[in-house]
Amino acid sequence: MRNKKFNITYLFIAVFLFVGLYLYIVITMEPNIVPASNYGFGYIISFMNCREYVLAIYTIVNILFITFCAFFIGKNYVNKKGISIIMVALLASFIEKIILLVGTKVMPEYLLGEIICLLCLDYAISLFK
Protein backbone atom coordinates (compact mmCIF):
# COMPACT_ATOMS: atom_id res chain seq x y z
CA MET A 1 0.00 0.00 0.00
CA ARG A 2 1.33 3.42 -0.88
CA ASN A 3 0.60 6.13 1.59
CA LYS A 4 2.70 9.26 1.93
CA LYS A 5 1.10 10.13 5.26
CA PHE A 6 2.14 6.84 6.91
CA ASN A 7 4.92 7.28 9.45
CA ILE A 8 7.28 4.30 9.57
CA THR A 9 8.08 4.87 13.25
CA TYR A 10 4.71 3.29 14.09
CA LEU A 11 5.85 0.16 12.29
CA PHE A 12 9.09 0.07 14.27
CA ILE A 13 7.19 0.54 17.53
CA ALA A 14 4.86 -2.36 16.64
CA VAL A 15 7.83 -4.58 15.72
CA PHE A 16 9.57 -3.82 19.01
CA LEU A 17 6.37 -4.52 20.96
CA PHE A 18 5.89 -7.88 19.23
CA VAL A 19 9.55 -8.83 19.72
CA GLY A 20 9.33 -7.83 23.39
CA LEU A 21 6.16 -9.88 23.87
CA TYR A 22 7.77 -12.83 22.11
CA LEU A 23 10.89 -12.65 24.27
CA TYR A 24 8.76 -12.42 27.41
CA ILE A 25 6.83 -15.53 26.39
CA VAL A 26 9.98 -17.46 25.47
CA ILE A 27 11.70 -16.59 28.74
CA THR A 28 8.73 -17.22 31.07
CA MET A 29 7.25 -20.38 29.53
CA GLU A 30 9.04 -23.68 29.82
CA PRO A 31 8.53 -25.68 26.64
CA ASN A 32 8.61 -29.46 26.54
CA ILE A 33 10.37 -30.65 23.37
CA VAL A 34 9.62 -34.25 22.41
CA PRO A 35 10.77 -36.12 19.27
CA ALA A 36 7.80 -37.03 17.09
CA SER A 37 8.42 -40.77 16.97
CA ASN A 38 4.82 -41.47 15.90
CA TYR A 39 5.39 -39.66 12.63
CA GLY A 40 9.00 -40.72 11.93
CA PHE A 41 10.29 -37.15 11.61
CA GLY A 42 10.31 -33.81 13.38
CA TYR A 43 9.59 -32.85 16.94
CA ILE A 44 6.75 -31.46 19.00
CA ILE A 45 7.10 -28.36 21.16
CA SER A 46 4.49 -28.31 23.88
CA PHE A 47 3.84 -25.38 26.19
CA MET A 48 2.13 -27.64 28.71
CA ASN A 49 -0.78 -25.73 30.28
CA CYS A 50 -0.37 -22.60 28.13
CA ARG A 51 -0.97 -24.22 24.72
CA GLU A 52 -4.50 -22.93 24.41
CA TYR A 53 -3.44 -19.39 25.33
CA VAL A 54 -0.66 -19.38 22.73
CA LEU A 55 -3.01 -20.68 20.02
CA ALA A 56 -5.68 -18.16 21.05
CA ILE A 57 -3.17 -15.31 20.73
CA TYR A 58 -2.14 -16.59 17.28
CA THR A 59 -5.81 -16.73 16.29
CA ILE A 60 -6.49 -13.18 17.51
CA VAL A 61 -3.44 -11.83 15.66
CA ASN A 62 -4.52 -13.62 12.47
CA ILE A 63 -8.02 -12.15 12.76
CA LEU A 64 -6.56 -8.65 13.22
CA PHE A 65 -4.31 -9.01 10.16
CA ILE A 66 -7.14 -10.44 8.03
CA THR A 67 -9.34 -7.50 9.04
CA PHE A 68 -6.52 -5.08 8.24
CA CYS A 69 -6.06 -6.64 4.78
CA ALA A 70 -9.80 -6.65 4.09
CA PHE A 71 -10.00 -2.97 5.00
CA PHE A 72 -7.27 -1.98 2.54
CA ILE A 73 -8.08 -4.29 -0.38
CA GLY A 74 -10.50 -1.79 -1.94
CA LYS A 75 -8.23 1.25 -1.60
CA ASN A 76 -6.35 2.96 -4.42
CA TYR A 77 -2.67 2.18 -5.00
CA VAL A 78 -2.90 -1.22 -3.34
CA ASN A 79 -1.32 -4.29 -4.92
CA LYS A 80 -4.52 -6.35 -5.04
CA LYS A 81 -2.76 -9.56 -6.10
CA GLY A 82 -0.25 -9.26 -3.25
CA ILE A 83 -2.84 -8.46 -0.60
CA SER A 84 -4.99 -11.36 -1.85
CA ILE A 85 -2.05 -13.75 -1.45
CA ILE A 86 -1.49 -12.40 2.07
CA MET A 87 -5.16 -12.94 2.92
CA VAL A 88 -5.04 -16.55 1.65
CA ALA A 89 -1.90 -17.20 3.72
CA LEU A 90 -3.51 -15.69 6.82
CA LEU A 91 -6.70 -17.69 6.30
CA ALA A 92 -4.71 -20.93 5.93
CA SER A 93 -2.78 -20.14 9.11
CA PHE A 94 -6.03 -19.21 10.89
CA ILE A 95 -7.66 -22.52 9.90
CA GLU A 96 -4.59 -24.43 11.09
CA LYS A 97 -4.71 -22.73 14.49
CA ILE A 98 -8.43 -23.46 14.85
CA ILE A 99 -7.79 -27.13 13.99
CA LEU A 100 -5.07 -27.24 16.65
CA LEU A 101 -7.39 -25.60 19.21
CA VAL A 102 -10.03 -28.26 18.49
CA GLY A 103 -7.41 -30.94 19.10
CA THR A 104 -7.15 -32.64 15.72
CA LYS A 105 -3.62 -33.77 14.86
CA VAL A 106 -2.53 -35.08 11.49
CA MET A 107 1.14 -34.09 11.54
CA PRO A 108 3.42 -32.81 14.30
CA GLU A 109 2.92 -29.30 12.96
CA TYR A 110 0.78 -28.02 10.13
CA LEU A 111 2.82 -26.64 7.26
CA LEU A 112 0.28 -25.38 4.72
CA GLY A 113 0.10 -21.87 6.19
CA GLU A 114 3.89 -21.67 6.37
CA ILE A 115 4.29 -22.78 2.75
CA ILE A 116 1.74 -20.21 1.55
CA CYS A 117 3.52 -17.53 3.61
CA LEU A 118 6.80 -18.46 1.90
CA LEU A 119 5.11 -18.17 -1.50
CA CYS A 120 3.79 -14.76 -0.46
CA LEU A 121 7.29 -13.72 0.59
CA ASP A 122 8.69 -14.99 -2.73
CA TYR A 123 6.11 -12.89 -4.59
CA ALA A 124 6.99 -9.82 -2.51
CA ILE A 125 10.71 -10.27 -3.16
CA SER A 126 10.08 -10.73 -6.89
CA LEU A 127 8.48 -7.26 -6.99
CA PHE A 128 11.85 -5.66 -6.24
CA LYS A 129 13.83 -5.19 -9.43
Which has the higher per-residue pLDDT, 109 or 49?
A: 49
Q: Is residue 3, in this structure, part of any structural domain at all?
A: no
Long-range Cβ contacts of 54-60 (<8 Å, 24+ apart)? 54/25, 55/97, 55/100, 55/101, 56/101, 58/93, 58/97, 59/94, 59/97, 59/98, 59/101
Strand partners, 43: 35
Q: Is residue 1, in this structure, part of any structural domain at all?
A: no
- Pair 63, 93: CB distance under 8 Å: no
- As for how many domains the chain has, the answer is 1
Q: Is residue 2, in this structure, part of any structural domain at all?
A: no
CA atoms within 13 A on the CB side of 34: 11
Q: Is residue 15, in this structure, part of any structural domain at all?
A: yes
Q: Examine the pLDDT at 108 and tell me if it is beyond 70.
A: no
Q: Is residue 55, in this structure, part of any structural domain at all?
A: yes
- Supply the pTM of this predicted model: 0.63
Domain that holds residue 90: 8-126
What phi and psi values does residue 45 have, to the nearest 5 degrees? -105, 120
Q: Is residue 99, in this structure, part of any structural domain at all?
A: yes
Q: What is residue 105's predicted lDDT score, i.e. its pLDDT?
A: 66
Q: What is residue 38's predicted lDDT score, i.e. its pLDDT?
A: 65
Give me the sign of the Cα torsion angle 71, 98, 40, 45: positive
